[in-house]
Amino acid sequence: MFDFKVLSRSTNTAGRVGRLSTPHGILSTPQFMPVGTLGTVKGITATQLKDTNAQMILANTFHLHLQPGEAIIKESGGLHSFMSWDQPILTDSGGYQVFSLGKLNKIDDFGVSFKSPRDGSHIELTPEKAIQIQMDLGADVVMAFDQCPPYPASKVEVEEACKRTHLWLERCVATHSKEDQALFGIVQGGCFLDLREESARRVASFHLPGIAIGGVSVGEPSDQIHKIVRHVAPLLPNEVPRYLMGIGTIREMAVAVANGVDFFDCVLPTRLGRHGTALVRDERWNLRNACFRNDYQPLDTTCVCETCTNYNRAYLHHLIRNDELLGLTLLSLHNLSHLIRFSRAMAVAIEDDCFSEDFAPWQKSSIAHYTW
Amino acid sequence: MFDFKVLSRSTNTAGRVGRLSTPHGILSTPQFMPVGTLGTVKGITATQLKDTNAQMILANTFHLHLQPGEAIIKESGGLHSFMSWDQPILTDSGGYQVFSLGKLNKIDDFGVSFKSPRDGSHIELTPEKAIQIQMDLGADVVMAFDQCPPYPASKVEVEEACKRTHLWLERCVATHSKEDQALFGIVQGGCFLDLREESARRVASFHLPGIAIGGVSVGEPSDQIHKIVRHVAPLLPNEVPRYLMGIGTIREMAVAVANGVDFFDCVLPTRLGRHGTALVRDERWNLRNACFRNDYQPLDTTCVCETCTNYNRAYLHHLIRNDELLGLTLLSLHNLSHLIRFSRAMAVAIEDDCFSEDFAPWQKSSIAHYTW
């Protein structure tokens, strides 16, 4: 039911083109996953989301457990049916959110108890419960419950989080029993490369159908992200998909793909869209800026998304200036399309062996310009 | 370029099915027009709007004059191009908004001066200027600049507003010079039937390609609306389309159509949608209500709109409860589809001569049930 094939490899990088088969269809890698925290990619219908060429999307177990609760979603026929998305879905485990959003009461090897940021109620999450919730939600890919240390954190703290993450992974594996769902493990270790190595070795030893690099993009500078990715990705099993969590910027995606990472998720394209910012090439444009007031070109003249095909910059400026809902939707649609387009350009460049870490296909001087 | 044909008539009411041809296509009447105040039907793309079966939409001259200004829209290729809507558009004249939203400084026979509700700047509108702005915006149908008295108002006040409206209409007609654009006159007169009669006679005497009943739905009870419509609609010229401004409730639309009105506009379906309310049959459902929490039926089981085809009530409840943008979009889409569907059901019932003022085709006992 799950199958990952590497279809093509780059010779001068570790970049690869792959295909992950899931019960709800294909994930072509390299790929970017839009984030639908509460079972909705904010402001975007399922039909529009398909038009961005999105394949797999991510939803958050932590948020969905708090509202509407996994019982409602299970009764509704599972998350695919609930949110009307018939393509692959991945749920994270809630680990990251427990530590970033919850008011922690207690954490020990058994699990975590915290106050709901929603209504202050007492909530307990354990590896067993996180997996049970994810089985109820019914995504195609589910993530192990991990402890994600903040940045910065001392080596002792990170080491403890790693040990707990590995202990919990064993219990996640023991609990998970849904055949049409793949459980991925998560490598932690913060910015400490020896801890990352040990974590990669331990997580790989479970021989799961996929593996993720977690605990990045938690506040560390981007050269740290690059250092971690360059060090960890080559240590991961070759035959399964590799997922770098929480990354969604052009440069970090290219570096990660060049080091053998297969897919990504990030709230950035939709969050930026809701704040009036558009992704164009590797730039961020604030559409509130007066320079767009009478600019009648498409947002990105090279993009074929719904936004760029139908509307001009002056109109988007007008919508954003007037806090019109449509502006947020149109910019989010473009930003998602942009990162997915970049993913597909990387795939073509890998197939044609003109991919590199500094991949920037919009540049006319790039040998990979034709992929854009 | 403009042509209105009555295709079918009801025998027991004054209801009629018609077709207005415009430079951007057909308006099949009876019909409901979505409102896109600032050149956007809030939260809805042009593609989604077409899926509601919308034909002609309304945009507001007052708002578009304040932002982004007609110069930007004209330079962008006109309103159709600016907002990417290639079907018919009607712009109102700004008269209603000047009196309801502006801080009036002065009103006399020359025109109106007021403070912009946006930035406090001094703005002057005259019949000539309102028409010039609308010619720049480039809609298919434009409305005469009128004085819309509030409710309640004394007979002397309403009479003065009528006289001014007729005086201004003459200047609107003299100013309007765009051949691919039709100018409609507006009948005023408040709740005073003799003033309404006089206004209908005066406006009709201009032999314009369309005529509207204005100054309703300004706060008066619905039996007053019915009284005005029943009295005025039969006095209007037979050979041109008749537009009842600001109406968008099932009952008022049916009464108006039964008295020979052809089309409508109203912000209600989108405004209600943004507040979490759905139109189902002739009811309003608040999707926040806990009864929808685990209701897995489509919103309206008889509706084929994008919302009802793809999502269930529990999901919509979840979105609305969590203030998710998508909830507002999905409810607005359904509400628009609902009123347009009701319009088309009225058309079928008129063609088959089973239409009546109390038309309620969702009732199984209705002889027109098949039209739903």
Residue B30: inside a domain: yes
Residue at B139 is within a domain? yes
Closest CA in chain B for residue A307: B45
Residue A286: enclosing H or E segment and its boundaries? strand A283-286
Task: Tell me the per-residue pLDDT of B48-88, one tens digit each, with 9 for 90 and over.
Answer: 999 999 999 999 999 999 999 999 999 999 999 999 999 99
Question: Which residues have a Cβ under 8 Å from the Cβ of B310 and sit 6 or more positions away?
Answer: A45, A46, A47, A84
A38 contacts on B by Cβ (under 8 Å): 318-319, 322, 324
Domain assignment of residue B80, yes or no: yes
Work out how many domains chain B is built from and give that number.
Answer: 1
Half-sphere exposure of A74 (CA within 13 A, CB side): 11
**Would you state the structure tokens that stand for residue B284, as one six-digit string?**
């309003």
**Region for A189 from its dihedrals, namely left if φ exceeds 0, alpha if ψ lies in -120 to 50, beta otherwise:** left
Catalytic residue among B108, B265, B300, B353: B265
- B-chain residue closest to A82, CA distance: B315
In a domain, B60, yes or no: yes
Kindly state whether residues A274 and A317 are assigned to the same domain: yes
Residue of chain A with shortest Cα separation from B295: A76
**Which residues of A are part of the catalytic machinery?**
92, 265
Do A254 and A173 lie in one domain? The reply is: yes
ipTM: 0.97
Say yes or no for a CB contact (<8 Å) between A314 and B39: no
At B316-339, the pLDDT tens digits run 999 999 999 999 999 999 999 999
- Say yes or no to pLDDT of B103 above 80: no
Residue A45 confidence (pLDDT): 98
B351 within a domain of the structure (yes/no): no
User: Does B138 appear as a known binding residue?
Assistant: no
A-side interface with B, Cβ within 8 Å?
38-48, 67-68, 72, 75-77, 82-84, 293-294, 296, 306, 310-312, 314-315, 317-319, 321-322, 324-326, 328-330
Tell me the three state secondary structure of residue A4: strand
Same domain, A248 and A338: no
Q: Which residues contact B146 (CB under 8 A, 6 or more apart)?
A: B93, B95, B96, B165, B168, B169, B186, B188, B214, B215
Q: Show which of A244, A266, A288 is a domain's final residue.
A: A266
Let me know whether A214 and A332 are in one domain.
no
Q: Please report, in angstroms and rounded to a whole number, the separation of the first and last CA atoms in chain B.
A: 33
pLDDT at B1: 83
CB atoms < 10 A from the CB of A132, how many? 16
Q: Are residues A33 and A176 in the same domain?
A: yes
Mean pLDDT of B100-112: 86
CA B36 to chain centre: 10
In chain A, which residues have pLDDT < 70? 102
Name every chain A residue with its beta carbon within 8 A of the beta carbon of B310.
45-47, 84
Q: What's the pLDDT at A105? A: 78
CB A76 to CB B314 under 8 A? Answer: yes
Same domain, A287 and A254: no
The answer on A209 and A83 residing in a single domain is yes
Same domain? A240 vs A310:
no
pLDDT value of position B105:
78
Same domain (yes/no): A19, A165: yes
Q: How far apart are CA B145 and CA B172, in angstroms?
A: 7
On whether both A133 and A182 belong to a single domain, the answer is yes
Q: Which of A19, A42, A44, A35 is nearest to A89 (CA)?
A: A35
Q: Are residues A237 and A159 in the same domain?
A: yes
Domain assignment present for residue B290? The answer is no
Q: pLDDT tens digits for B150-169? A: 999 999 999 999 999 999 99
Using a CB-CB cut-off of 8 Å, the residues of chain B touching A118 are none
Of the residues A241, A266, A291, the one at which a domain ends: A266
Q: What is the pLDDT of residue A100?
A: 81
* CATH code, A9: 3.20.20.105
Last-in-domain residue among A212, A236, A266 = A266
- A255 lies in the same domain as A371: no
At A173 the pLDDT is 98
Nearest Cα residue in chain B from A318: B68
Select the residue from B292, B326, B330, B332 to test the A interface by mutation, using most A Cβ atoms within 10 A: B326
A146: annotated binding-site residue? yes
pLDDT tens for each residue of A242-286: 999 999 999 999 999 999 999 999 999 999 999 999 999 999 999
How many Cα atoms within 13 Å fall on the side-chain side of residue A282?
Answer: 12
Q: Provide the phi-psi class of A143: left if phi over 0, else alpha when psi is between -120 and 50, else beta.
A: beta
Nearest-CA neighbor of A60 among A79, A81, A32, A85? A79
Residue A45: its chain B contacts at CB < 8 A? 48, 306, 310, 326, 329-330
Residue B358 lies in a domain: no
Cβ-Cβ contacts under 8 Å, A46 against chain B = 310
What is the pLDDT, as a whole number, of residue B88? Answer: 98
Q: What was the pLDDT predicted at A97? A: 86
Which residue range(s) make up the domain with A340?
267-372
What pLDDT is recorded for position A102? 67
Q: CA–CA distance from B298 to each of A200, B89, B280, B292 (Å)?
A: 46, 32, 11, 11
CB contact under 8 A, A315 and B82: yes
| DSSP secondary structure, A95-116, as one string | HHHHHHHSEEEEE-SS-EEEE-
Instruction: With respect to residue B181, please indicate whether it lies within any of the assigned structural domains.
Output: yes
